Amino acid sequence: QKEVEQDPGPLSVPEGAIVSLNCTYSNSAFQYFMWYRQYSRKGPELLMYTYSSGNKEDGRFTAQVDKSSKYISLFIRDSQPSDSATYLCAMSLLIQGAQKLVFGQGTRLTINP
């Protein structure tokens, strides 16, 4: 079993729709939870970073963490064609001073005009 599971998609939705992206994880020791967006041939771009259960909102993006269920989500409201990208969840813990990220496989999202 992978430490972090993410549905690779692809996911295709019309412009303006609400998008829900999800990841589950098996290691209850994870402390930090992140969502990255990656455009083709580019590096991952940090969207959201949190370390507690609950919701965190930033513009059209909301990150949700449920540590009891080991489940994180990213919601995108009023989706735009420019949101078309691969979305990566990542999580980590500090061990002996090192924070190494464990990534999901990534979900490929397409927003259709």
Partner 1 sequence: NAGVMQNPRHLVRRRGQEARLRCSPMKGHSHVYWYRQLPEEGLKFMVYLQKENIIDESGMPKERFSAEFPKEGPSILRIQQVVRGDSAAYFCASSQSQDQPQHFGDGTRLSIL
By CB under 8 A, the residues from 72 to 91 that bind partner 1 are 88, 90
By CB under 8 A, the residues from 24 to 43 that bind partner 1 are 32, 34, 36, 41-43
Alpha-carbon torsion angle 9, 38, 16, 20, nearest 10: 50
- The least distance separating partner 1 from the CB of residue 51, rounded to whole angstroms, comes to 8
Q: Residue 28 or 96: which CB sits closer to partner 1?
A: 96
The C-alpha atoms of residue 102 and residue 10 are separated, in whole angstroms, by: 21
Backbone phi and psi for residue 69, each to the nearest 5 degrees, phi listed first: -95, -5
Give the one residue of 44, 79, 84, 87 binding partner 1; rule: CB under 8 A: 44
CA distances from 77 to 15, 19, 23, 49, 80 (A): 10, 7, 18, 18, 9
Binding residues for partner 1 (CB under 8 A): 4, 6, 32, 34, 36, 41-46, 49, 88, 90, 94-106
